[in-house]
Structure formats: structure tokens, C-alpha cells
Structure 1
Amino acid sequence: MLSPVCYLREQDIMPPLRIGFVPEHFSTPIHFANKRFGLNAELTPFPSGTGHMITALRAGEIDVGIGLTEGWVAGLGREDTPKADDGGYKLVGTYVETPLCWAISTGASRPEIRNVDSLKSSKIGVSRIGSGSYVMGYVLADERSWLIPTSGVCTSSESASPYTKTVVLNTFENLRKAVNSGEADFFMWEHFTSKKYYDSGEIRKVGEIYTPWSSWKIVASTKLVSGDGEEKKVDPRVEELFGKLNQGIKYFNEHQDEAVQYISTELDYSEEDAREWLKTVKFPEDTRGVDLNVIEKTIGVLRDAGVLVTGKGMRAEEMIATSR
């Protein structure tokens, strides 16, 4: 009698993707994709945000990252982007369509900081250099006309810095402590993540700023991208990821009460805040691909803000592996 032949699909023998994500309310569709639809992945939380995921991608510690648009673009667009591995990652998908509201926070007992204008020439706290909290500090400065050109020409974030010091603090908890101790004067973090600490009186809100772009993108290690120009292809596991995320988003949209239950019990939010957040966020029906116009706009704003330098770093089309 002949022995049966066992046929294995490619995804059965390939290791699961190692996916980095920020463990906040925005991660709820990822939770549903994993719990309800069998997402084949090792999920690794990065509470310190996008800048930390960039480091992990370049070190080969994760394969995919789901994080903030401005962080990914700044990481690839800066003139000191590592060239040997082509930046270490490429933009492959869109996770959130709506802008992000960054709350601007200071310590509870900092009477000298009255409003946003009081923050010019102050100490800004950031999670990491290159993170969204770092990048948005320059976007804020650009909006407020605080940038300080060197020799009349604004050529980089260092020459244009309107802050006396940039304090790297890694975690949201450290940022909150720093503005109360005086180590930093203010920091920027997502509104609903910050709100609980306004309500408790630990920190105080002095303003807010919205990103002028859709706020979350998906990136993949360059090791998972093959081909050049418009012929780039991504690993089949990444294509499968898009499908699972699409299912998770659809379930999220159709089961809002379950989403609120998860956010208010497993994450650090009240039920009231979870329901308010749901009114502000829109996930795409299809996560696959990135709009070139969105990345070009992001680059333009970051150049105006002095984060990126015209003529240096990657162009928008070089950052994208999968277009919409």
C-alpha cells in the first residue's frame, strides 16, 4: 500500500509574521483579526511608538509595523537614512484613513505654561528621535512660525529647532512624569490616550493639533519586498495580513459594542471615551496599498517644518512598495 502524500501550503511551512503595533484603542481591529479570523502572526506591542518600531525593523526584530504615517515617512526621508538596506522598510498598506488629534500636555502644576504660545523656546519631551511625538513638535512649530532658520535658510530640523532642549523619554508614563518634575515642559500624544490623565488631574491640556494626513500606515521589512520600480512584490504572508486586517476592520465596524467592551476593559480607556473615539475614526475597507499623493503631502509638510530636507532622503515613490 502506498503511503499518503502530504501536501503543505507555503504559508504552512513559513514562520508567522512578527508584527509590531501600538497597544492603544487603534489596535482593536488587529485584536479582532487575531481573535476572530486566525491572523497568523506574533504580535509584539510597542507602547513607545513608531520610532521604536523603526529601530526594531532595521534590527530584524520584527517583519511588519503598524504605526504613524509621519514617523514612517520621516524615518525614510531623513538624509541620514541608512542606505545599505534601503531604509530597512517600505510602506505597503493603509491602516487608518482619518487624521490623528495630538493633544499638547504639560504638568498639572505649571502655572507659567498658560497656552500653546507659552511653549516657544521650551523643553519638548518626545518618546524617541524620529517618533511621531518628535516629528509633530516641528509641525507645531511650523504652524506657529517658531522655526529659526540658519543663515536665512531652513535646511534641517536641527538648524530650525524652536526648542531649548529635546528630552527623549521613551514611554508615555515617563513623559507624564517629566512635565510634572520640570524635566520637560510639554509633550504631544494622542488625545484619547491622554484624556484619562486630564480627568485625574495628573497632567493638563494646553492645546491640540491634527495631522494634515491620514494617520496610520503599514510597513514591511525590505526583506519581504522584492523587485524594483513599479514591479515590487511583497511576501505572500503580507498579502494574507491585508485580508485578515480587512476582516478585523469589518467586524469592528459591525460590532461597536464589543469594540467598546474590549477597549474599556483590556486597554486604558473609559467606556465614555471609547464611544467618543469611535465617532472620530475611520478605517479603510481595504488596507492594501498606499496613496502616493498622501505620502507626497506628508513629505511636503515635513520639509516645511524642517524635519526633512529638500533634495535629500528618499522620494515618495521610493518609500512605497504597494500603491493604491
Structure 2
Amino acid sequence: MTDTTPPLRIGYVPEHFSTPLYFAQKHFGLQATLTPFPSGTGHMITALREGEIDVGIGLTEGWIAGLGKEDTPGDGGYRIVGTYVETPLCWAISTGAKRPEISSVSSLKGSKVGVSRIGSGSYVMSYVLADQEGWLASTSSADVGPYKDFVPLQTFDKLRAAVNTGEADFFMWEHFTSKRYYNSGEIRRVGEIYTPWPSWEIVASTNSTKLAKDDRLQDLFRKLDQGVKYFGEHQDEAVEYISTALDYSKEDATEWLKTVQFCTETSGVDIKVVNNCISILQKAGVLKEGKGLQATEMLVSGLGEQLP
């Protein structure tokens, strides 16, 4: 990167998963402007398309749904360029503290789903849940879906409030981010569902960069790999950061470390992961076969993607 080249503008979700990114900047000199998106992947998609950020680190299903929908605008605005987290994500399914009528996952059929945004990970996973529970087959009419309504609420705190006021009946969010609010009694856990794919990917905007040749992107991968390695070797520091700068207890941060595996080489994407995600999202009704971008079109040649 030259002195005249502006630093990358990187969007990220300000949760425990962002710790290696923080370490990449703190300890290894990553030159980037980090912009938090507490409302998640769907908001980052909008920001990428509007030229507000250059790179996003977010949920696999959100990125792929954003490119695979039949109404994807233009060239989609971004491409998947790297892999961040290899382990699946555990989505906790939550309702209000005083909602006795919601007693199990089976009672959620036909209810109002709180989501951060339409097209976000929380939205996409509600369809994966419906498919897993067999609700899609029983609501096959074009006018009838598995849920009564989707209620976009942007942020985690608004989602928690909505299930207590009745604006929404349930929502899904990452397990450890939700856990402290179960402990406090603000919301109640109904169940959980795991993503059937590695949970976090890295994307880059198509607006202004030649992605495979952008030195800033290659620098990001190098520094992020160093941040991931440092994270693995300094878990006490990771717990301290997560429990002081982010919204977690030391106990939850320590427990989370046992469940997560970051990618040691963040550049490149396994196309089998993309194909599997597309297949499941098509089955769940989120994507339509033959519409939107196909798997190879979602990636960038020259970044180490693993083609069959």
C-alpha cells in the first residue's frame, strides 16, 4: 500500500468473533478503518452496494443469499473472497420472558419472526429452521408461508424488546451473545439450530477495486492470518478483551473459545461450501434454482478458491 492509497474500509459485527480482526490491527499493523455493524450482514450488504465500505466480514448464508436472489441488483456489488470461521454457528431461538404460549420450537409455526433485516442471516435461518421442521411442505401455497410475518428490527436490543412487547414472537441470534440475557431473565430460550456450513466469510466490493490484484486485500489476509494465530496463542488476552470491550462475561467468553475454529489461511473460498449453502437455501425457499448468481460467479478467480 502506498502513502496515497486509502486504507480499506472494513465492516464487521462487533461481537466476540471480531477478536482476531481486532488483534490484526492492534498487534500487526493492519491499516484499515473498522466500521461496526451491530445489525449484521444484511446492513453490510447495503453498505457495500452503496460504496460505504470495501470489505465485509459476516455470515455465510447472508452473503450467499444476497448474491443468489433473483432480484440481485447489477453485479451484486460484492464477491466472496475469503473464509473467516470454519465452525458452524449456533443460532439460539429466543422469545419473551413472559410468553408461556410459546413453549417449544413446534409452537413457532405461523408466528411473527423478528429479524435484523430482510435477507440477513437471522431472516435466512428462519427458513432453514422451517425446512428442518417440515413447515415448508405443509405451507406450499404461494400465498401461505411458514410464518405469519417478518418484523425487521435492525438491532439485537430491539429484537429482545420486541419479543417482550409482542411485536415479534421469536428471533434467532448467536448463542453466546444471547446467553447473558437468558441469565438475566430478559428473554427465554426456546431451542437452537446450527448452520449446516462454515459460519463466517469475507467479501469485497466490486465497485472500485480489482479484487484479485488489490494489495490492500492481500495485506488484510496476511494480517488477519496473523491475528488468528495470535488469538489461538493468547486466549487469556482474548477473554480479557471479549469480557471488557464486548458484551460477554469471562465465563461465556472462555466457554465460547472451546467451540470456535477460525480459518488459519483466510484468503480463498471452498466452492463446495458455497454450493452446499446454495442447495440448502434453495430447498428452504430462500433462493430459486437458476436465478441470481451461480456459485462460481460469487467468487473471484486468483484468490485461491478451491474449484472441483
Q: Where on the TM-score scale, by shorter chain, does this alignment land: which range?
A: over 0.9
* Deviation of the 1:225 alpha carbon: 4.8
The normalised TM-score by structure 1 is: 0.91
2:230 equivalent to 1:251: yes
Check whether the contact 1:56–1:62 (CA below 8 A) recurs between aligned residues: yes
Please name the residue that 1:294 is paired with. Answer: 273
The normalised TM-score by structure 2 is: 0.96
2:56 equivalent to 1:65: yes
Structure 1 pair 272/199, CA: closer, same or farther in 2 (3 Å)?
Answer: same
* Deviation of the 1:185 alpha carbon: 0.2
Runs of 4+ in 1 over 6 A off after TM superposition: none
Please name the residue that 2:28 is paired with. Answer: 37
* Deviation of the 1:285 alpha carbon: 1.0
Please name the residue that 2:158 is paired with. Answer: 174
Aligned partner letter, 1:39: L
Please name the residue that 1:25 is paired with. Answer: 16
* Deviation of the 1:273 alpha carbon: 0.3
* Deviation of the 1:160 alpha carbon: 6.3
2:247 equivalent to 1:268: yes
Q: List aligned pairs for 1:43-192, cutoff 5 A.
A: 43-83=34-74, 86-147=75-136, 148-150=139-141, 161-192=145-176
Q: Distance in 2 between matches of 1:320 and 1:161?
A: 31
Check whether the contact 1:105–1:186 (CA below 8 A) recurs between aligned residues: yes
Please name the residue that 1:282 is paired with. Answer: 261
SS at match of 1:103: strand
2:205 equivalent to 1:221: yes
Check whether the contact 2:12–2:58 (CA below 8 A) recurs between aligned residues: yes
RMSD of aligned C-alpha atoms?
1.1
Q: Distance in 2 between matches of 1:167 and 1:54?
A: 19
Q: Distance in 1 between matches of 2:208 and 2:187?
A: 42
Check whether the contact 2:45–2:63 (CA below 8 A) recurs between aligned residues: yes
* Deviation of the 1:149 alpha carbon: 1.6
Structure 1 pair 255/160, CA: closer, same or farther in 2 (3 Å)?
Answer: farther
Check whether the contact 1:11–1:237 (CA below 8 A) recurs between aligned residues: no
Aligned partner letter, 2:53: I
SS at match of 1:196: helix
SS at match of 2:118: coil
* Deviation of the 1:293 alpha carbon: 0.3
Per-residue CA deviations over 1:129-185 (Å, capped at 9, x if unaligned) read 01000000000000001112237xxxxxxx662100100000000000000000000
Check whether the contact 1:138–1:161 (CA below 8 A) recurs between aligned residues: no
* Deviation of the 1:224 alpha carbon: 4.9
Check whether the contact 1:160–1:306 (CA below 8 A) recurs between aligned residues: no
Give percent identity, aligned residues only. Answer: 69
Aligned residues: 301
Check whether the contact 2:160–2:187 (CA below 8 A) recurs between aligned residues: yes
Structure 1 residue runs without a partner (length 5+): 1-9, 152-158, 227-231
Q: Distance in 2 between matches of 1:59 and 1:295?
A: 24
Check whether the contact 2:79–2:298 (CA below 8 A) recurs between aligned residues: yes
Q: Which of structures 1 and 2 has the bigger CA Rg?
A: 1
Aligned partner letter, 2:36: P
**Among 195, 213, 219, the residue aligned to 1:240:** 219
SS at match of 1:209: strand
Q: Distance in 1 between matches of 2:238 and 2:37?
A: 21
Q: Distance in 2 between matches of 1:234 and 1:78?
A: 28
